[in-house]
Structure 1
Amino acid sequence: MTFADRHIGPDADAQTQMLKAIGYASLDALMDAAIPEVIRWHGTLELPAAASEEEAIAELRELAGRNTVATSMIGLGYYGTHTPAVIRRNVLENPAWYTAYTPYQPEISQGRLEALLNFQTMVTDLTGLTTANASMLDEGTAVAEAMTLARRSSRSKSSVYVVDADTLPQTLAILRTRAEPLGIEVRLVDLDAGAALPAEFFGLHVQYPGASGAVRDHAGLVEAAHAVGALVTVAADLLALTLLRSPGEIGADIAAGTTQRFGVPLGFGGPHAGYLAVRAGLERSLPGRLVGVSRDADGAPAYRLALQTREQHIRRERATSNICTAQVLLAVMASMYAVYHGPAGLRRIAEHAHRQASTIAGALAGAGVELAAGTFFDTVTAVVPGRAAEVVAAAERAGVNLRLVDADRVSVACDETTTPAHVSAVLAAFGVEPGGEFPVGALPVRATEYLTHPVFHAHHSETAMLRYLRKLSDRDYALDRGMIPLGSCTMKLNATTEMEPVSWPEFANIHPYAPASQTAGYEALVAQLEQWLAEVTGYDAVSVQPNAGSQGELAGLLAIRGYHRSRGETHRDVCLIPSSAHGTNAASAVMAGMRVVVVACDDNGNVDLTDLAAKIDKHADALAAIMVTYPSTHGVYEKGIAELCGAVHDAGGQVYVDGANLNALVGYARPGRFGADVSHLNLHKTFCIPHGGGGPGVGPVAVRAHLAEFLPGDPLEPGEHHAVSAAAHGSAGILPISWAYLRMMGPEGLAAATGVAVLTANYVAARLREHFPVLYAGNEGLVAHECILDLRPLTKATGVSVDDVAKRLIDYGFHAPTMSFPVAGTLMVEPTESEDLAELDRFCDAMIAIKGEIDRVAAGEWPRDDNPLHHAPHTAAAVTADEWSHAYPRSLAGFPAGVDRTAKYWPPVRRIDGAYGDRNLVCSCPSPEAFED
């Protein structure tokens, strides 16, 4: 069998059976009917022929072998770290963790929600602030979000944002990218040199420790900023905060940074979990996801995403952030690193790094080498006039990478992996003998305790940690248990062969700023992947830098903005967005400095071309772009897409096609050839990077030739290009996954996957249409790769809500489809190509059985407030309770039709009260007493 045969669930016989059920003789006939001829592409993708799994692994081994794994002492927010094997094997390499979806169904996500609550508690404890979110994309984007948070929360009317000169250079690049379209002036000030703060500014950013390694007391700056109504952000190293005074202790408003050095591999730049924490009073302005504690139907504590329906979905074009994701898998790893080591263990690791740095500083100072700062944590910057490149080259020959600051300065960063041998090699590169002491300046010492919750003290043996991880994963539902039929999210197979290379040292242990001579394998892999993605989409150039779909949206819109500005058309700032679009589209447009104008959709869910023409006519002179999702957000191949593209182009605008639904196009239609100018691609959807419980994601941006020069650039390279992620290739560490998928599927396999994805969606629609109306359809009544089931008539007639159906599906052993998006009161189902016919039928049978239960409510057999749907999901404790007073039997509650009694998934909690959690915001670990009976 080929890899494509393994990836695609329905075999040839199953496909024939499914085609017969929907009335088509072949997959090609189905696709010819479904896809409008105006966009249909009949060519063959110019990609390498499909490789076997063994051949692909061998090729990846060869690419990995071109990388050189050196000892990294470059720093700049990226450090060597030891990933505990129990965490690597049981989280990073465990499909129970990496194949889960965002925890929007909290009853079946209690395990990873607890892990994320541990993460938030870890961050708030170490930063000394009251509330942290469940992670950000990386340090650079976290700091950029802190800047805009300060802008909307500050009393100051100034547009000036002050940034200390000792800030990480990649962070400064991202701040400038984000600030310019919003009219924010980033003012770089050398605070260490005594430069004065301006008279007015809305925010202040300081790095702690600085990029140079210097540790400074920022208390006076915080006081001065507050005096003019400005908010202060401290970009703090969490490991340093085990020793140093926390941002909260000096009155800072916001802390931001990365948790990479908490056991997460370097990965040539990512993925890593950034963090963002705020003082009291700012928690409801916090972007991203926030885990909170609520209660279930029995009043027991239960975790959920707090404030989850805010920002992009409610505020849309008034949203202040386009972040709709997190880095959950990496946040789980970082939180478990803290759980495994505990406060004392983290402190020992920090003291080790500081001790190695002090040893280097003592020897250098003893030899007469000037040090740039007398107070430091783990990084020493040496002043060696005219010799910096020579020292760095000597260290590299010894297998150690140092940071070349400029011609006269070299930085050396120590971490938990630094050994005496590394110290000796560094000193030898400077031409210095070991020995000597350097009187480190008085550090601002931490005065408060941290990680006091019992969870950080109970799992320090490997046995205890192994069992804790297993207990949490058992509380969750992921693809390793069964189908996750989420519309718009493409939860399909993440093949083990694709995942395997992620942990190889040649991919995992490369610093993003390592010398180019050491990263040839990565550069070749990235170049191949970008070329293949360009071919698949019909575009001319691709950048994989955006480390989430939201960042891909922003990068694509910034490319459009740059293009118009290069032509002297700075007045073009209107972005047309259909009313059905995902909320991130509008938020991204605003962040790119554009004005959002909404275009109506017709009764069939298509963009209303009459309203589009009117909006174009009204805004023609100012039109910058239109953002559309194709197939549409409603899961339909719209016939008018070519007409839409032509109308926008005729008015001087650019066409942005959101690539969220590319799984319905690959091999059959190419956006770059049917009229689009730019798209972002979700590698965590179409191209098999796992969702990881809510992240990581990768959102490459693809453009036609005229926009190529405006793609994101390396944040450390000078120039006018904008950087949207802290590393040149974003989350490079997981790109081997999509490389392997494309390499093993080949052109025929990719097209077959698309065809079967469309087939499965239409098969589900055909089986369920008589029970639940299918809301939208295109050619010949066909849907694309997903279908919307309309529950609103049933809700009106019986009171059974879409929530009731979603929770009842848990009892049947399923994750619910997407709820109430893009239409309230509906379920959007996307079966994907990876689910076999037996699982598709199991889902359809469950939905039909649920319809039968709704009918019994409608007939009055069960009361509206006492039926299996109203009380779903049912826990084992509820079903086995001594008392049972419901109108339906226990057996039906726990074991509805079709459920395998020997492999039943039991949710750990009953239905969770979301409103209670939002009113009573608790976002750190509750005490053990809260869980006592």
Structure 2
Amino acid sequence: MSYAESKYAPYDFANRRHIGPSPAEMTEMLNAVGAPSLDALIDGIVPQDIRLKTPLTWGKALSEQGVLNRLREVAHRNRVMTSLIGQGYHGTVTPPAIQRNIFENPAWYTAYTPYQPEISQGRLEALLNYQTMISDLTALDVANASLLDEGTAAAEAMALCQRSAKSKAGAFFVDHHCHPQTIAVIETRAAPLGWQVIVGDPFADLDPSKVFGAIFQYPGTYGHVQDFTAVIASLHAAGALSVVAADPLALTVLKAPGEMGADIAIGSTQRFGVPMGYGGPHAAYMAVKDALKRNMPGRIVGVSIDARGNRAYRLSLQTREQHIRREKATSNVCTAQALLAVMASMYAVFHGPEGLKAIAERIHRKAVRLVKGLEAHGYKVEPDAFFDTVTVEVGAVQGAILKSAEAEGINLRKVGTTKIGIAFDERTRRSHTEAIWRAFGIDRKDDDLSHEYRLPEALLRTSSYLTHPVFHMNRAEAEMTRYMRRLADRDLALDRAMIPLGSCTMKLNATAEMMALSWPEFSDVHPFAPDSQTAGYAEMLRDLEAKLCQITGYDAFSMQPNSGAQGEYAGLLTIQAYHRARGEGHRDVCLIPTSAHGTNPASAQMVGMKVVVVGVAPNGDIDMADFRAKAEQHAANLAACMITYPSTHGVFEETAREICEITHRQGGQVYLDGANMNAMVGLSRPGDIGSDVSHLNLHKTFAIPHGGGGPGMGPIGVKAHLAPHLPGNPQAADSGAVSSAPYGSASILLISWAYCLLMGGEGLTQATKVAILNANYIASRLKHAFPILYSSKGGRVAHECILDTRVMKDRAGVTVDDVAKRLIDSGFHAPTMSWPVAGTLMVEPTESEPKAELDRFIAAMLGIAAEAEAIVAGKLDAENNPLKRAPHTVEDLVGDWDRPYSREAACYPAGAFRVDKYWSPVNRVDNVYGDRHLICSCPPLESYVEAAE
């Protein structure tokens, strides 16, 4: 008896919370699609030659309480220390109001990337606050929102310098005081592109005529605070560009990079209230001079107007994105750390400029008192001027002092063989200072209350920052909580409605899976803490890797890539390293079908591969004749092919094995994009089909929430022959590291591990089957109103389906954009628009949605089809109709109603809730206006008044 047919199934498995339809509902849905059973439906969709022969099994699925108990067991194996290691990671205090109302709030963490701006106005405002904060602190014109971590932001800055500098030199200079993990990631990015990386002292070793750019750390990893103004001027004279990797908290008291003449500033906002989390997730930033804004990677929030002329926010300059530019893209950045950028922005709103400066000065004063005590007992401390970090010469007793400090509950940094680094932070207290002195053999009380400073006089900040009223609002918790609530209410996230985005898998993020992220045993762990303190993390990582290997058929995983696009990049680097190890480093051709995700060709370009595009057949499948011919044509240099399975158009192609065989026969490796793994778990394994490497979007298939556009994780699984070439520890030389931390955004891996424990192998398999059932139910119910663009020979789809709205445009003048905006009136986020085919909607309901929500979406879509037919019949005006005027706001109801359709038709279309209706806060946003009048920071308050008049 199948799960769907079992009377008791809902109560037998803890995974029932993840699977939306009840058994009775599944029976109704199966009847609607014309399948006798769930298993029969799956048998007719997933080719038998790729089906998994043995079920997934790792013991019985745990209850919610069982999962929480297991997480507690693992948490207790971590030792929570006071880590003063620094290197860009610091202890911080997350204001409880922000922790509860942002970090732990599904209204914020279950939202999608704000590609539909009308229903994203809350998080767009928060991200605009973030950009304003960064622009102000760095004194640069435009900031993005945001990048993955400091190391990858530095690598992106290097690439931006190379494509924008007048200099045609082939080298990039790196300050030897940059964090070691940043240097490692830069070296990884530079190697396949043939750029030389020169690491040295910028005041002694830099020859501006030989580089296209240079990066400087400010303050340096060992504490040095240096003025790079003259060095930057010399770079400009030679046609090169400059990057400053700056600590944003230090910029509240130190001269800004823009004031030194820097072209680009990058860094991490982790210490703005975001826990260390053993490496992440954290929001990195990039700010640039105005001339570089159109080449800057990442997302930029801009200000535009809506149909009424009211101010509205949107993502600006999207034509830069890899989805559009593909192999011509300058970056493959897809996931931003949006949720963490929101937290950092709220931290700045919460404290304001005075509060941030007070925190920075307090940290510095404590560091000065520490240094005075060390110097009084004969220790040599450098540098003379510093912000929060110093390095102490201790000679042969280094190991003994580090061990003594650890016994005091404090981690210090081992620097070389004779020095120790100490980095103070917001959490540092007098007891920590005294404990450090004891570790150094000093018996002293920290009772010096004098305000002594050792900041460099010439580099003290005199310019203002955070002057916008939002950073000066009343910071009483009542007002802060209301502000965060107001912004959340403007958005539409999974806690309100289904988000049926094709290829983006917006599924349930169960509360039990999220809870451990706030526990200090996980959140307060430094990524470079000693292994002896991270046994809990190690156990979780080992078990998660074993489960993912069983699920995928691969032999090893790297958890380092902290986005899906980073996973693609890491996978291709691994393939390159494999070819080089076999003496075939000349292989540089990558075959990519036109239907592939836009990040695929962008990632191939980033590793220096030559993209050869393969066509697709009329039914959407890969054109096998074209694939075969191009594989043979490029056999001598074929490095890889990249395919998505199931295909981007939502079908299990029957030629996947053949594609793998052809590629291997010509000496290449197969990269199978794991974005659609939600249709494979428990049914089929990429490693069994013949692929060599895949990334998994854990923020899709494995329940990590999207966070309004990030965080994400994209670990890569590989076959055994590729395992030796996976990315290594970013602190090691020649590591091939792709992220700053060894395990990327390690803390959110807990979510996917908890998901696997909660579901069990049987539950994961059932989830895949129901995801396919839900997609076929929608396709079956809507196919008469919206042609299903692609389907299998049996007329089925996989986990998603493409609805063709082009006929609606031809008949009624209704565009796919009109359909998307009208869905807002019904309380839905639109499916994926115009990808992979322009003028279509790609729908993926996921297994999490119950039948009632599917039916509500179906009703909304059928209502839209009926309105389009009313236009055709002349019952609705061709231009002044609910579709063209959508979305409708409360403001539309005020005053006289002069439209040829009723208020009720406008605001309560099919599918809309009467009582709990979602109201869009703005009318349709003018994208063209926003790009022509680019504003990427908070406008002055009076401009809001002007816009409303």
The match for 1:568 is 583
The match for 1:337 is 347
Secondary structure at the counterpart of residue 161 of structure 2: helix
The match for 1:150 is 161
Of 7, 32, 39, 2:50 maps to 39
Secondary structure at the counterpart of residue 902 of structure 1: coil
The match for 2:604 is 589
Residue 747 of structure 2 is aligned to residue 733 of structure 1: yes
Residue 126 of structure 2 is aligned to residue 115 of structure 1: yes
Q: Is the Cα–Cα contact under 8 Å of residues 776 and 796 in structure 2 kept in the other structure?
A: yes
How far has the Cα of 1:628 moved from its partner? 0.3
Q: Is the Cα–Cα contact under 8 Å of residues 95 and 479 in structure 1 kept in the other structure?
A: yes
> How has the CA–CA distance of structure 1 residues 876 and 166 changed in structure 2, closer, same or farther, with 3 Å as cutoff?
same
How far has the Cα of 1:883 moved from its partner? 1.6
Q: Is the Cα–Cα contact under 8 Å of residues 362 and 438 in structure 1 kept in the other structure?
A: no
Separation in structure 2 between the aligned mates of residue 662 and residue 382 of structure 1, nearest angstrom: 50
Separation in structure 2 between the aligned mates of residue 546 and residue 684 of structure 1, nearest angstrom: 12
Residue 892 of structure 2 is aligned to residue 882 of structure 1: no
Q: Is the Cα–Cα contact under 8 Å of residues 151 and 202 in structure 1 kept in the other structure?
A: yes
The match for 1:99 is 110
Residue 937 of structure 2 is aligned to residue 924 of structure 1: yes
The match for 1:281 is 291
> How has the CA–CA distance of structure 1 residues 497 and 439 changed in structure 2, closer, same or farther, with 3 Å as cutoff?
closer
Question: Within 5 A, what are the aligned runs for 1:683-702?
Answer: 683-702=698-717
The match for 1:707 is 722
Secondary structure at the counterpart of residue 38 of structure 1: helix
Q: Is the Cα–Cα contact under 8 Å of residues 271 and 733 in structure 1 kept in the other structure?
A: yes
The match for 1:852 is 866
Equivalent position amino acid for 2:902 in 1: P
Q: Is the Cα–Cα contact under 8 Å of residues 33 and 779 in structure 1 kept in the other structure?
A: no
Residue 181 of structure 2 is aligned to residue 166 of structure 1: no
The match for 2:3 is none
Residue 332 of structure 2 is aligned to residue 322 of structure 1: yes
Separation in structure 2 between the aligned mates of residue 837 and residue 97 of structure 1, nearest angstrom: 25
Separation in structure 1 between the aligned mates of residue 392 and residue 41 of structure 2, nearest angstrom: 67
Separation in structure 2 between the aligned mates of residue 219 and residue 209 of structure 1, nearest angstrom: 14
- Output one character per residue of 1:518-561: Cα deviation in whole Å (capped at 9) or x when no partner: 10000110111111111100100011111000110011000100
Q: Is the Cα–Cα contact under 8 Å of residues 599 and 607 in structure 1 kept in the other structure?
A: yes
Q: Is the Cα–Cα contact under 8 Å of residues 560 and 654 in structure 1 kept in the other structure?
A: yes
Residue 215 of structure 2 is aligned to residue 205 of structure 1: yes
Secondary structure at the counterpart of residue 293 of structure 1: strand
Question: Within 5 A, what are the aligned runs for 1:712-791?
Answer: 712-718=727-733, 720-791=734-805
The match for 1:20 is 31
Question: Within 5 A, what are the aligned runs for 1:405-484?
Answer: 405-434=415-444, 441-442=456-457, 444-484=459-499
Separation in structure 1 between the aligned mates of residue 911 and residue 162 of structure 2, nearest angstrom: 54
When the two structures are superposed, what TM-score results if normalisation uses the length of structure 2?
0.97
Equivalent position amino acid for 2:282 in 1: H
The match for 1:804 is 818
Question: Within 5 A, what are the aligned runs for 1:311-390?
Answer: 311-390=321-400
Structure 2 residue ranges without an equivalent (≥5):
1-10
Structure 1 residue ranges without an equivalent (≥5):
none
Equivalent position amino acid for 2:45 in 1: A
> How has the CA–CA distance of structure 1 residues 268 and 443 changed in structure 2, closer, same or farther, with 3 Å as cutoff?
farther
Separation in structure 2 between the aligned mates of residue 151 and residue 833 of structure 1, nearest angstrom: 45
Separation in structure 2 between the aligned mates of residue 109 and residue 726 of structure 1, nearest angstrom: 30
How far has the Cα of 1:392 moved from its partner? 1.2
Separation in structure 2 between the aligned mates of residue 478 and residue 146 of structure 1, nearest angstrom: 32
Residue 85 of structure 2 is aligned to residue 74 of structure 1: yes
- Identity of paired residues, percent? 58
Q: Is the Cα–Cα contact under 8 Å of residues 383 and 391 in structure 2 kept in the other structure?
A: yes
The match for 2:5 is none
How far has the Cα of 1:195 moved from its partner? 3.1
How many residues align? The count is 930
Separation in structure 2 between the aligned mates of residue 579 and residue 195 of structure 1, nearest angstrom: 46
Secondary structure at the counterpart of residue 828 of structure 1: strand
Q: Mean alpha-carbon deviation: is it higher for 394-403 or for 1-10?
A: 1-10
Equivalent position amino acid for 1:408 in 2: T
> How has the CA–CA distance of structure 1 residues 196 and 5 changed in structure 2, closer, same or farther, with 3 Å as cutoff?
closer
Residue 903 of structure 2 is aligned to residue 893 of structure 1: no
How far has the Cα of 1:898 moved from its partner? 3.8
Separation in structure 2 between the aligned mates of residue 459 and residue 184 of structure 1, nearest angstrom: 50
How far has the Cα of 1:717 moved from its partner? 2.2
Secondary structure at the counterpart of residue 83 of structure 2: strand
Of 825, 833, 845, 1:819 maps to 833
Residue 201 of structure 2 is aligned to residue 186 of structure 1: no
The match for 1:872 is 886
Root mean square deviation, CA, Å: 1.1
Secondary structure at the counterpart of residue 508 of structure 2: coil
Secondary structure at the counterpart of residue 209 of structure 2: coil
Residue 39 of structure 2 is aligned to residue 58 of structure 1: no
Q: Is the Cα–Cα contact under 8 Å of residues 385 and 409 in structure 1 kept in the other structure?
A: yes
- Output one character per residue of 1:232-282: Cα deviation in whole Å (capped at 9) or x when no partner: 000000000000000000110000000000000010000000000001211
Q: Mean alpha-carbon deviation: is it higher for 286-295 or for 921-930?
A: 921-930
The match for 1:84 is 95
Of 318, 325, 335, 1:308 maps to 318
The match for 1:792 is 806
How far has the Cα of 1:440 moved from its partner? 5.7
Residue 614 of structure 2 is aligned to residue 604 of structure 1: no
How far has the Cα of 1:721 moved from its partner? 3.3
Separation in structure 1 between the aligned mates of residue 458 and residue 542 of structure 2, nearest angstrom: 45
Of 906, 915, 920, 2:928 maps to 915
Separation in structure 2 between the aligned mates of residue 548 and residue 140 of structure 1, nearest angstrom: 14
- Output one character per residue of 1:217-239: Cα deviation in whole Å (capped at 9) or x when no partner: 11111111111111000000000
Q: Is the Cα–Cα contact under 8 Å of residues 166 and 239 in structure 2 kept in the other structure?
A: yes
Equivalent position amino acid for 1:849 in 2: G
The match for 1:140 is 151
Separation in structure 2 between the aligned mates of residue 195 and residue 829 of structure 1, nearest angstrom: 56
Separation in structure 2 between the aligned mates of residue 221 and residue 430 of structure 1, nearest angstrom: 37
Separation in structure 2 between the aligned mates of residue 382 and residue 650 of structure 1, nearest angstrom: 58
The match for 1:577 is 592
The match for 2:270 is 260
Question: Within 5 A, what are the aligned runs for 1:823-838?
Answer: 823-838=837-852
The match for 2:14 is 3
Separation in structure 1 between the aligned mates of residue 793 and residue 537 of structure 2, nearest angstrom: 43
Equivalent position amino acid for 2:309 in 1: G
Separation in structure 2 between the aligned mates of residue 408 and residue 119 of structure 1, nearest angstrom: 40
Residue 411 of structure 2 is aligned to residue 401 of structure 1: yes
Separation in structure 1 between the aligned mates of residue 819 and residue 505 of structure 2, nearest angstrom: 21
Question: Within 5 A, what are the aligned runs for 1:521-540?
Answer: 521-540=536-555
How far has the Cα of 1:896 moved from its partner? 1.5
How far has the Cα of 1:623 moved from its partner? 0.4
Secondary structure at the counterpart of residue 387 of structure 1: helix
Q: Is the Cα–Cα contact under 8 Å of residues 35 and 779 in structure 1 kept in the other structure?
A: no
> How has the CA–CA distance of structure 1 residues 146 and 294 changed in structure 2, closer, same or farther, with 3 Å as cutoff?
same
Flag as ranges the 4+ runs of structure 1 deviating above 4 A: 435-441
How far has the Cα of 1:439 moved from its partner? 5.8
Separation in structure 2 between the aligned mates of residue 439 and residue 413 of structure 1, nearest angstrom: 15
Q: Mean alpha-carbon deviation: is it higher for 539-548 or for 307-316?
A: 307-316
Q: Is the Cα–Cα contact under 8 Å of residues 624 and 652 in structure 1 kept in the other structure?
A: yes
Separation in structure 2 between the aligned mates of residue 315 and residue 375 of structure 1, nearest angstrom: 46
Separation in structure 2 between the aligned mates of residue 600 and residue 867 of structure 1, nearest angstrom: 39
Equivalent position amino acid for 2:244 in 1: V
Separation in structure 2 between the aligned mates of residue 309 and residue 231 of structure 1, nearest angstrom: 24
How far has the Cα of 1:320 moved from its partner? 1.3
Q: Is the Cα–Cα contact under 8 Å of residues 39 and 669 in structure 1 kept in the other structure?
A: yes
How far has the Cα of 1:618 moved from its partner? 1.1
> How has the CA–CA distance of structure 1 residues 459 and 115 changed in structure 2, closer, same or farther, with 3 Å as cutoff?
farther
Separation in structure 2 between the aligned mates of residue 677 and residue 486 of structure 1, nearest angstrom: 28
Separation in structure 2 between the aligned mates of residue 123 and residue 827 of structure 1, nearest angstrom: 36
